[in-house]
């Protein structure tokens, strides 16, 4: 279904770009090159929240909500891109790529940042003129920015040059986000967008930067519920604070335990031995991370054995920990999880991503998706005054170029 819709969208995008090129006064700007098309998916994280920035494990899936770029490479060291959703054309020159800006950044900077990070990594980049469209809601925690970066990495790459592995490309896009955009995110979003696989979740070891595929049982659907609660740039600073609290915890424990480089190296028993060394807020953040790593592994096992009851317990424990210890949930996220808990056919439900608003992810028995959709549409507005969005999503393939 989605791939038919996807192809129709792709054809429309290419036709629009071709029409744009034709309506321009003839000039040397666009090379006589064929229109190319790249896509990159958003992601939903099944479990393992904030563990990536502590060198631990995460279990996201790329989803069939995607960013597409139709483009024509040209010889100028410059990108000019039109966002269909925003009806806005922005551009940047490779000569003026600088990570030192402060303040709000326009959307084109995700592409500029990717160009900057690719160049820093020694990869050849090419300018292009193109059109961008997306079915990933912006700012709802489904990694639209990582998808833009991954799609951009395909459009900017010199197609003659060897392409780095998906995990290496994810690191480059993460650098764009960290150093260019100023958000100290981990590797999960870019990695999932780069390396996802249809029908599967991705177990990522965020220290080794390696992954393995974990099939999602065929009897389960993924349902994403968006709180639609407003989020803003404050999220980025709260995110960076959480990350710093975890790093402080690892440093304080590491003063007594020489093998500890990150919270990944701390197990529950070791944490309990040293809890008294940590300020209360730091101890709470660390407790979440130390236990969440274990929940990721237990979830992989439960998916492999089809233990649906265990999935329910693990998601519930993760949500409670993010709410009470890590303190990144919100009233709206808690309400969505509460609604899901009473719906027949819902196996597991929790907040997903960085929190402070955004979405929940639920595992739902196939055929029961509408139960959840209806319950959320009925009960959530009454309890919050907000109108939710609910998506049934499929685990999708990672980013790439579409065949001509």
From the CB of 30, what's the least distance to ligand GLA, in Å? 35
Choose among 129, 127, 128: nearest CA to 95.
127
Query: Which residues lie below 8 Å from residue 322, measured CB to CB, with a gap of 6+?
Result: 49, 288, 328, 329, 350, 351, 355
Stretch of 48-56, 81-89, 98-106, 269-277 contacting ligand GLA, by CB under 6 A: 48-56
Choose between 50 and 128: whose C-beta lies nearer to ligand GLA.
50
Binding residues for ligand GLA, rule CB under 6 A, total 11
Residue 50 C-beta: closest distance to ligand GLA, Å: 5
Q: Which is nearer to ligand GLA, 149 or 369 (CB)?
A: 149
Q: What is the CA radius of gyration of the chain?
A: 21
If the CB atoms of residues 52 and 332 are measured against ligand GLA, the closer one turns out to be 52
Q: Which of 17, 30, 44, 52 binds ligand GLA (CB under 6 A)?
A: 52
**Binders of ligand GLA among 290-329, rule CB under 6 A?**
none
Smallest gap from Cβ 58 to ligand GLA, in A, equals 7
Name the residue among 276, 284, 275, 277 with its Cα closest to residue 246: 284
> What is the rounded CA–CA span in Å between residue 293 and residue 289?
6
User: What are the angstrom distances between the C-alpha of 149 and each of 118, 157, 235, 324, 373?
Assistant: 11, 12, 19, 33, 31
**Residue 346 lies near ligand GLA (rule: CB under 6 A):** no
Exactly one of 9, 44, 47, 49 binds ligand GLA (CB under 6 A); that residue is 49
Q: How far apart are CA 214 and CA 211, in angstroms?
A: 10
Q: Is 52 a catalytic residue?
A: no
Closer residue to ligand GLA, CB minimum distance, 54 or 72: 54
Based on the number of CB atoms within 10 Å of its own CB, is 143 exposed (0-12), middle (13-18) or buried (19 or more)? buried
Residue from 30, 35, 47, 53 binding ligand GLA (CB under 6 A): 53
| CA angle centred on 398, ends 155 and 390, rounded to 5° | 110
Least Cβ distance, residue 71 to ligand GLA (angstroms): 26
351-390: contacts with ligand GLA (CB under 6 A): 353-354
Q: Looking at the chain, how many residues does it have?
A: 404
Q: Give the nearest distance from C-beta 245 to ligand GLA in angstroms.
A: 13
Judged by CB under 6 A, the chain residues 71 through 110 that form the site for ligand GLA are none
CB atoms within 10 A of CB 11: 12
State the catalytic residue, choosing from 64, 189, 226, 265: 189
Tell me the C-alpha to C-alpha distance, in Å, between residue 168 and each of 118, 155, 377, 386.
11, 16, 41, 40
Which of 17, 38, 50, 166 binds ligand GLA (CB under 6 A)? It is 50
Give, as ranges, the residues between 177 and 236 that touch ligand GLA (CB under 6 A): 185-186, 188-189
Q: Which of 72, 114 has the CB closer to ligand GLA?
A: 114
Nearer to ligand GLA, 240 or 384 (CB): 240
**What is the DSSP secondary structure assignment for residue 356, as one 8-state letter?**
S
Instruction: Name the region of 30 (left: φ>0; alpha: ψ -120 to 50; beta: rest).
Output: beta
Quote the CA–CA distance of 334 and 340 in Å, as a whole number. Answer: 10
Closest CA to 197 of 174, 215, 221, 219: 215
Residue closer to ligand GLA (CB basis): 186 or 217: 186
Residue ranges that bind ligand GLA, judged by CB under 6 A: 45, 49-50, 52-53, 185-186, 188-189, 353-354
Catalytic residue positions? 189
């Amino acid at each position: 279904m989605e791939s038919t819709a996807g192809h129709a969208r792709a054809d429309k995008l290419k036709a629009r770009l071709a029409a744009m090129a034709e309506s321009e006064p003839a000039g040397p700007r666009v090379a006589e090159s064929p229109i190319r098309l790249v896509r990159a998916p958003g992601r939903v994280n099944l479990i393992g929240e904030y563990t990536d920035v502590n060198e631990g494990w995460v279990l996201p899936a790329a989803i069939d909500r995607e960013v597409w770029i139709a483009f024509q490479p040209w010889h100028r060291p410059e990108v000019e891109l039109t966002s269909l959703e925003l009806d806005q054309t922005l551009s940047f020159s490779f000569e003026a790529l600088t990570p030192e800006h402060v303040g709000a950044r326009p959307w084109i900077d995700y592409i500029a940042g990717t160009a900057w990070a690719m160049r820093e990594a020694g990869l050849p980049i090419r300018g292009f003129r193109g059109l961008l469209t997306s079915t990933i809601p912006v700012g709802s925690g489904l990694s639209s920015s990582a998808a833009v970066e991954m799609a951009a990495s395909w459009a900017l790459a010199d197609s003659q040059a060897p392409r780095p592995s998906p995990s290496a490309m994810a690191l480059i896009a993460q650098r764009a986000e960290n150093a260019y955009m100023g958000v100290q995110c981990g590797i999960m979003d870019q990695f999932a967008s780069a390396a996802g696989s249809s029908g599967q979740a991705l177990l990522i070891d965020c220290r080794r930067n390696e992954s393995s595929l974990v099939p999602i049982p065929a009897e389960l659907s993924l349902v994403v519920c968006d709180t639609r609660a407003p989020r803003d740039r404050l999220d980025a600073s709260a995110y960076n604070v959480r990350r710093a609290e975890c790093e402080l915890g690892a440093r304080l424990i590491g003063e007594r335990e020489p093998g500890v480089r990150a919270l990944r190296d701390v197990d529950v028993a070791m944490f309990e031995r040293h809890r008294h060394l940590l300020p209360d807020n730091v101890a709470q953040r660390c407790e979440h991370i130390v236990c969440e790593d274990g929940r990721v592994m237990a979830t992989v096992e439960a998916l492999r054995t089809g233990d649906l009851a265990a999935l329910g317990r693990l998601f519930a424990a993760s949500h409670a920990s993010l709410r009470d210890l890590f303190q990144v949930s919100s009233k709206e996220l808690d309400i969505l999880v509460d609604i899901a808990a009473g719906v027949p056919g819902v196996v597991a439900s929790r907040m997903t991503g960085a929190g402070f608003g955004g979405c929940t992810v639920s595992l739902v028995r196939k055929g029961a998706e509408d139960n959840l959709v209806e319950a959320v549409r009925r009960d959530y507005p009454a309890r919050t005054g907000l109108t939710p969005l609910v998506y049934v999503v499929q685990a999708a393939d990672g980013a790439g170029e579409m065949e001509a």
